[in-house]
Structures are given as structure tokens and as C-alpha cells.
A and B are shown apart, each in its own frame.
Chain A
């Protein structure tokens, strides 16, 4: 575990229309006791953060297409450079959509198969535990994490999809309570039940479910905290090494 002085600096990006910024900030600051900085969309400066979070919301209203405008924000150019240098970038919900639009992750998030917004608990099968984002998870662990989106159905062309599968870039899949990846457990029609993917290098994660909403027992579960802990731990290792 982390010592008292060893603090990781998380940067949470705030676009106009972002709303999970404060929830992510709460977990980082109040639950995990790590350092927190909010990064304003107009500022082209990442302020020396170890991990950048693109949180949930409706950036710029998502009026054209989810994430389509946000990718042009001044801060995003720096996020791209940071990712290219191997920095940790974590897109949650709307942040995942922004990462796809920005080309930092392949594929796209399209309208839910139900054509409706869905806010409910889902089960996620963890398929990678060697990543900075999941190191505290166990092999094949099932996490209970809620979703809240209208456009979270993961889509990619067959070639991209098979490349993702071959390289093991699928990190989370919607599953049932026993970890079986079955159609009934898929809340939005995502191809291959995909809930989250990582880039080939393993430093850019995008996921539709909201770990920041389940990092304390009183909110219905604390599985999400494992992901925040993983990042804190991994970023520490980088700092030490």
C-alpha cells in the first residue's frame, strides 16, 4: 500500500458540460487521499499530472456527436502528446467517447441498442490485470460497476475488432454475476460485450461504466476503487523507478 507521503497527482479534465469531474475528484481526494488537480479545457497545460482522467458528462453538450467537439479543445492536444509519451490517460463514459473521437482509441460508441438512456448496475469481467489501471484486480475477477449513458454501444469494423481481440486490448466485458459473457448481460448492444478497451501500449484506457460511482460501500459497492488504487499504485512505481 501507499505510504502517507507518496502521493500521485491526478488531473481531471473539465470541459463545459462535464459532470463526473467532481465525482472523480471526490474519490481521488477524499476517498483515496491522492493529489487532485482540475484541468480546464481551455488550458494547454497538464500541470505535471501523473494520470489524466477524462470524466463523464456531455462535453460541449455533445450536440454534434458525443465527444466530437471536445477533441478540439486546447487541453486535448496536450493529452495526446502525454499519451504518446506513455502517460496514463483514462477516459470514463463521455471521456471514452472523446478518446475514440480523438483517435487515441479505435472504434466508436454509438446509440444504445434499446435507443434509450440506461442507468443501472452492470457486471464487468476483467480480462487484463497487467495494466496500470487494473493491477489490483484478480484474474477473471467480476466487478460490479454502474453505467449511465445513451450512447455506449461499442462499435468497430471487423478488422479493428479482431485486432483488438488478438492483441488482448479488451479490458472489460459485460458479463453476468458469474462472469459469463452472455448476450443478456449486455446493456447496450456493444460488439463482443465490450465495456472498456486499452490502446496497444497499455497506457490509454476507455470505459463506459463509472468506477467513481462505486468507490464507497454506501453507494452500493466499492469495486470501482480497485481501479483508482491500481492507478495510484502503478504511478507510484513509475515515480520510484
Chain B
């Protein structure tokens, strides 16, 4: 076999040999292309599957774990939350607007395929420093807004970080959350020999051919030639597709719905059949509605045209389903049927053009045995060499104005975050919350990852990401329920990168197990490198949902009442390693990330949830990047109320800079009425958690007696410096 041809379909000579062995003949061109896309890293997880098995994926509330279009957990009153996060990094690097837009479109279809109505979008974005990365930043933000705003699903949460390591490899992870009655959850299984396969939605064009393979390669100077591998989104069409799919619940003629995403028709049919033992499928590409002339069977099978779904329909009832799509002016075409022979057979009219075992496509790719090797631990940190903060107020202002800590209002006001009349906690605080209409339930959701911690220590960094996501949920008064993860890493063929992946997955598994958080869905994006260098930080993004039984008891991050006690829950240590303070004020990315005790973390969550449930708290905010002072400033700015505090006198060995700026985990800044103090103190004792009084809410500045005094106006000007961008 010509090596060049193999490279085109992203197969290695070893993989080709494996195909010959299993197939006992040489594949034809169409078959080779189909195997190439399904055996790509993006579809087969051949480098990560063994690791992913370590993640806990079951639990009492889990109604659907990994392996389907999205995961699902019960949230109460007969409802399930369906959610998943997915990457669209490579396309967004080449064509930021469409890359991001189609990332959003794809994740929405995953949720629709479960029979759920999508109710919210979130994202997690990484760029190089501004203004050099403004093409990526502007394009991606516009693409996310362009798709979400048009389709009418609110974008309620997300994160944006700027670091040098993402300059050539921006990360665009999109998450969608949907709601479905637990008993109406659908699964994309091609059950029932003879049932029809109906392709609905957009016509098929040549766009996105080899997209999945492209996403499994490093970017290089020829990557821009791959622009045809980036798909183009049509959110209007997807809106119609969404409503038509919701209307499908009115008929019981539908067996399953499957999204056409990476690897298009090939993947959709193979996955749908692969989930049922012994099932196969026979399809005729001549019946696939085309967008252009002259398309070959190869093109049709590999096209990644967006806004398409495959519907498995009971034989003889195709007309009922077609009429639902017709009402929305959408094309539908019966392209084949479910078989019992375990083969995916493709015809072009009367000619058979491919015939492959389904299992060869879905599970045949040889798993890669990669070797991890721990690099030298990143640069140590000598805390004794750091001078004390000369002017903590000035440091606070610089931190608030720094790219990773400034207000994201300039970004989220470009996203419609209110459509749906359900957003009861809008973006800008910790987690967002949507009410579940017709119930008292509030569904909290967030995305999180401090990749700098993961760079310094992937095992600990991944744990910290889970803990912080959980704190974001808890800060709203909601119980964390489950996780979806998006593992963004560089080229795993490099031993130090594979080690990062191993360590991060181990850390993730450990934290999720201890915090009782099953990982119900996820995605892996590897090869986020350019030209064999400038690898990204390991970035295991955590998406999390949680629930509060009565959303009237939800908490915001901002201070609400003058005269309230402002409290720090949890203890502070000399955790300056990897901190924003260290980078912004001293120019170092160094040290060990903050130590995390998951048992303590859990105790703090219990305390906050108990206090919220009892109505003792007026606000709660996760104290994270930038430390206590930045967290406190956010509480003041979000609430429009200042705070007066006595001077901070840290007890040795705690340093003054650490008291202000350390990023010790398992901490919250809360506010409560003075009369609730005895209860708060007894709750803290019962949970064995440290509680300390920071100060009193009031005035129009942050003041630590004799140490700093900065007006809210100055703080706001610094914090909102990016809004004008």
C-alpha cells in the first residue's frame, strides 16, 4: 500500500496490516477512507481508552454513562439532566468563527439525540496573549455567539484564559445541557432488523471530509490548506432540526436518533449499529440528498456536513416521521435499513461499494500502548526569596486588571444568556443556574480548569479542577451531581505528554471518586501542538452539573446587605505556587500547586450546603484564583457594596502575601446577618472547618485597616478593563 495514500487517510502501516489481518483481504478505496476516519484518534480513542476506563462512571443517579451521544443523571421530579462537553480545537485554530460555531452545533445535536431539549450552553476557551491572539479570540467568541444566539439556547457559563502556550493552539470546548423526562430518554441503538434508517436535516456536501483525521494530527504550516476540512454551520437549520426532533416524541415510531458529527455518515451508522450485538446496516448512498453534483460514494460516506441526524424508524412508519420533518421544511430520506449480519454494507444504487464488519470499524483499531515518562518537575519556587507586597492595594488592582482575572462581561454580553426564561443565576459569578420550569428545581452548571496547576503537577492539577468546579456549584447552594470532561493535551507520542495524560486522568479519577462525582460523558482532544513544539498546558476541562431542590434558596456571589458579616470559610496556607499573584506580580510560573485535602473539601461543601439550606447565608463565593483579596473584591463588585476589615495579622508560618493572595483550595467567602453568627459557628465546629471573620459589609471601598483602602470605583475600572476590548 502506498504510504502517501495511508497518510492521507491517517492510518499507519501497522494499522493497515491490522486491517488486512482482520478483513482477510485488502480494503477498497471507500473502505479505506471509512476505516481511516473511524480509526482516527478522534473517533477511536486509541491512545486514551485504556486510561479512561479508570474514571468512575456509575452512581445512584446515573441514568446514562459514557458510550452514548451524551451522559444523563437524575435531578428529581422525574427529570434527567443530559450533558456533554466536546472540543473543537483544531478547526477553531484554522477558521475560528466556523470552528467554534460548528463546535456548538455539534454538542447541541448530541443532547438532542438523547431525546432531551437543550436548555443551556457553556464553553471553556484558551487563547494566546492579547492582542496577538485577537483573531482567534474575536472569531471564536463571535462564532459561539453567532450559533447559540441564532438557535435560541442561552450561553450561560464558561471560562476564558490567556496563556502563551495556546498562541498556536487555541482551545474551544463547548458544553450543552438538556432536560428530558427520565422515562423518555432515548438511546442511539439500531434495534430491530428491517427497521429504516432515515437521514434528516441538511443536504450532504463535500465539507469537512477527513475532519476527524485532521483533528488527530499536529498543526503545521500546511494546516491552513486543510480549511476544507472545517465545516460550515447553519444554526437556523439546526433550530428547525431541533424542533422537529422534539416533535418526534409525539410518535412512538422512532427507535433511536443519532447525531452525524465527526466522520459523518460512516460513524453515525457504525456507532448506532455497534451498540447492538450482531446488528448491521445496509445503506444506499445514491439515496442521500446532495448539495452538489459529482460526489462519489467516498465523499458521501466521509462528509462532515453539519445539521444532519440519523433516525431509526419502525419499518412501515417512515411516512409519519417524514411528515414531521416536512412541517419544518426539512429534507428526510430513507437511506437504508438495520440488518442482523453485523456488517455495514454500502451500495451506490445497485453497486456494492463497501462491506465491512461493524465491529472492525468501531472496535477494530489497535489500541496504542504508549509510554509515559515524568519530566523534570517544573522549576522550584523559593518563597523566602519573594519580597513582601509593598502595596497590597496596588497589587490587587493589577491582579483585577490582569487578563485571566478581569471581568468577562465583555464576552458574555455577546451571548444571549437569557432566552428560555429560565436563567436564575446569570453568568459572571460562580456557576450559572437554570430553573426547571414547572418544578422548584434549580440546575447549576459550570466549566473549570486551572491549566497552570496542571502544567506544574497534572495529577494534583486535575484534582484541583474537579474540586473548584464542585465549589462553583456549591457556592450557588446546589449539590454537585456529575461530571463531563474534555481532556485537551498535546501529542501523546511524546512520553512527557503521555505522562501528563496518565497523571491527569489518575487525578481526575481520584477526585471524582472521593467527591462521589461520576464522569458520565466526555471527549479527548490530543495533538494540540504546532510544528512539533509549543505544546499546550495539559488542560483537562471539567464540566459539572448540580441541583438545588428549591431555587428560591439559591445564592449569588455578590454581597447583598450592608452590615452583614463577611466570613472566610476554610483555612489559608502559603499556597503561592502557580498563583496569579506569582505570575502577575513576580513574573513566575513556578512551584507546586496548592495542596488539596479532598476530605476537607467535602466537609466545607457540606457546611456551605447546610448553611444555604437553613437560610443563614446571603451570599457565597468560591475563593480561588487571585486569592482572598481578589475573591473579596469580586464579592464587593458583584454586589455593589464595600467591606471594612481589621488589619490582617497572619500567624506564622503564614505569610502576609499568602494571607492576601494564596490560592488555597476548599475556601469560600460568604456573607451572613450578624444574628446568624452563632449558628454559623456551631456549623463550622460540627464540620470541623475553620471560620474566620474578614470584616463587615458596607461603604464604597475595600479597606483593611492600615494595610489598604481602594474604592469600588477604582476596583471596577481595573476589573472591567477588558470589557471595552
Contact = CB atoms under 8 A, between A and B. Distances in A.
Interface of A: 16-20, 22-23, 26-27, 30, 56-58, 60-63, 116-120, 146, 148, 150, 210, 212-213, 216, 218-220
A116 B421 contact: no
B323 to A, nearest CB: 14
A218 B552 contact: yes
B443 to A, nearest CB: 14
A219 B414 CA distance: 19
Contacts of B145: 117
B551 A218 contact: yes
Contact of B417 (A26, A119, A210, A216): A119
A212 B151 contact: no
Contacts of A60: 236
Contacts of A146: 418
B187 interface: no
Interface string B232-246: 001111011000000
B423 A219 contact: yes
B423 A117 contact: no
B414 A118 contact: yes
Interface of B: 145, 149-152, 234-237, 239-240, 328-329, 412-421, 423-424, 426, 435, 437, 551-552
A17 B236 contact: yes
B435 A218 contact: yes
B149 A16 contact: no
Nearest to A26: B421
A228 B239 CA distance: 27
Contacts of B424: 218-219
A118 B410 CA distance: 9
Nearest to B424: A218
A22 B240 CA distance: 15
Given A16-B239, A61-B234, 9 more contacts: A17-B240, A56-B419, A57-B152, A58-B235, A117-B149, A119-B418, A148-B149, A212-B421, A220-B426
11 contacts: A19-B151, A19-B419, A23-B421, A63-B236, A119-B415, A119-B417, A120-B413, A212-B421, A216-B421, A218-B551, A219-B423
Contacts of A150: 149
Contacts of B426: 220
Contacts of A22: 420-421
A32 to B, nearest CB: 13
Contacts of A23: 419-421
Contacts of B329: 16
Contact of A116 (B414, B420, B423, B437): B414
B502 to A, nearest CB: 41
A12 B721 CA distance: 41
B201 to A, nearest CB: 13
B112 to A, nearest CB: 15
B694 to A, nearest CB: 28
Contacts of B236: 16-17, 58, 60-63
CB-CB nearest 10 A-B residue pairs: A19-B152, A61-B236, A23-B421, A148-B416, A58-B150, A119-B416, A120-B413, A213-B418, A218-B424, A17-B236
Contacts of B417: 119
Contacts of B435: 218
B418 A210 contact: yes
Nearest to B413: A120
A117 B416 contact: yes
Q: DSSP majority for the A interface?
A: mixed
A118 B415 CA distance: 7
Contacts of A216: 421
A30 B439 CA distance: 12
Nearest to A146: B418
A213 to B, nearest CB: 5
Nearest to A119: B416
A199 B416 CA distance: 29
A220 to B, nearest CB: 7
Contact of A119 (B239, B240, B413, B552): B413
A118 B416 CA distance: 8
B239 A19 contact: yes
Contacts of B234: 61
Given A57-B152, A61-B150, A218-B435, A213 B421 contact: yes
A225 to B, nearest CB: 12
A61 B234 CA distance: 9
Contacts of A212: 421
Given A57-B152, A218-B424, A16 B240 contact: yes
B413 A118 contact: yes
Contact of A20 (B419, B423, B551): B419
Contacts of B151: 19
A29 to B, nearest CB: 11
A62 B234 CA distance: 12
A222 to B, nearest CB: 12
Nearest to B243: A16
B418 A219 contact: yes
Contacts of B437: 26, 30
A20 B418 CA distance: 10
Nearest to A23: B421
A118 to B, nearest CB: 6
Contacts of A30: 437
Contacts of A116: 414
A119 B415 CA distance: 6
B23 to A, nearest CB: 44
Contacts of A61: 150, 234-237
Nearest to A42: B327
A216 B234 CA distance: 33
A1 to B, nearest CB: 23
A22 B438 CA distance: 14
Contacts of B150: 17, 58, 61-62
A72 B341 CA distance: 51
A26 B437 CA distance: 9
A210 B150 CA distance: 16
Nearest to B435: A218
B192 to A, nearest CB: 32
Counting chain A CB atoms within 10 Å of each CB, the highest count among B145, B412, B413, B414 belongs to B413
B343 to A, nearest CB: 39
B113 to A, nearest CB: 20
Nearest to B244: A16
Contacts of A56: 419
A204 B235 CA distance: 30
Contacts of B551: 218
Contacts of B237: 61
Nearest to B552: A218
A120 B418 CA distance: 9
Nearest to B237: A61
